[in-house]
Structure 1
Amino acid sequence: MAQDRIGLVRDSMNENPLLAKSQLGRPLKRGFSLPPDDFTYGRPNTGKDGGTAEAMGNWNSALPSMTSKPGEQKRERDFIGLNRAAIKAGLVTSGEHYHFRANHDIRRKMSPSENKIRTRRIPPDMTFGISTRPSTPVFDLLEHKYQDRWLQQRRLSELANREKQQKKILNGNIYETRASLLRKYSPVVEPPPLWHMPRFERVHPHLETFRSPEARKLAFRAHSHDATSRTGVFGHGIYAAAKS
């Protein structure tokens, strides 16, 4: 039975797999393209054998065995073991030890972590060379920022040396007395209380809207910080516009 379709039927509708309806028992057509005819499927053979000589003539074309694997580090000489072996052999002088080391060789055993083959893989997007040195900031030179930075570092170093000297003096014969402690003590200055009208000084509030005195202090502190950018005498108005 033919399928009903509303509208004009174009050739591009049959090629689009989203618009084409699947037929019963037939797979949908996909847009995958195969490689050319000279393409070889599979993975390349990286094994090294005798090659053509071994395949045709069965010659002795085996590769020479390598003493060390590629990438494997050469073990260092074990001088402690050489000295021990020389002493056991009865050698004492430096010349005898020199000849013993020339005729004998003992290599140091490598740990399992050092014995692993280390391969260095260079990323394909790596750029070789030295990075470009940034130019000297002219504005820092004109504003004497290097001088200010040096003066600040000197000031901090002098303060640190002075504190070290004071600690040395205190740890020595000089000790603190009551007079020296009172001389260094600076009493805490409490801020003046808020102004109240005389008739409301003895009137206490009957309603407390804050959960705790700490919450009340935090709220008033936030209000004092935010009141500078608001209009009005007490800073309860809208935010004031920026003034140039």
Structure 2
Amino acid sequence: MAADTMTYDNPFAHTAAGELGVNRDTMLQNELLLRTELGKPKRRGIIIPAGITYGRPNEMRGGGSSEALHGWPTISSSTLPFKRKENSAQRDFMALNKAAVSAGLVTANAQFEFRATHDVRRKTQSGDGQRNRTRRMPPSMVFGISTRPSTPIFDLLEHKYQDKWLQERRKLELAKRQEENKQKRSPGQVYETRATLLRTYQNPVNPEPLWQMPKFTKEAKPSLQTFRSGRARTIAYSAFESDKISRKGNLGHGTYESAKN
């Protein structure tokens, strides 16, 4: 039983080498050499010093009516396990470059040495200067969804909504007619009457024929007559006018086209 107790208390019993061989403290920090224990989670080789507890401390409150009247319990900033991060000012490289050039330093090594011996920080905006953007609600303000009003049954039975819609349509039509009348009866505009239209009307006159030399109007005759007589010419032209309806082309000299519905 003594041997079993020693084996249970020995931390090297759950390593790859076991209790045999040389036991080094670094073996307890190597996760690959550790073995899982029965009924316990696997160890990661991290040794926790004595007296250290992880987590956030709980603020003990006795309770009672006095604390209940003070309001809901809140977490104070002193109990938080972290500190507020302060914004550190960044280096102003533009000001450093300007100062280095003013001092006559233009090479890279000279500017590197100048930055090592001089330091210029950018201005940071303090938290006190920021405006408080908290929205203040009036004391009489109520949150939530407003209650839906009851349905007016009497208005539905009396068709009041229909009458209201008809009245609005009539008002729109009357307003439209008034606008049209205003456009028609514009002041200063002269309207044309039948007398004024007849006064300005001009009777159509046949255009005069083009001027020709007298010798061509009387003595000039065609040198070739393809028709035997004037009657034959009239019959030929009438046949052409009736036949060009079914032919293609602007002048009716093309091929025949099929009938169209």
TM-score range, shorter chain: under 0.3
TM-score, scaled relative to structure 2: 0.22
Larger radius of gyration: 2
TM-score, scaled relative to structure 1: 0.24
Q: Which has the higher contact order (CA 8 A, sep 6+)?
A: 1
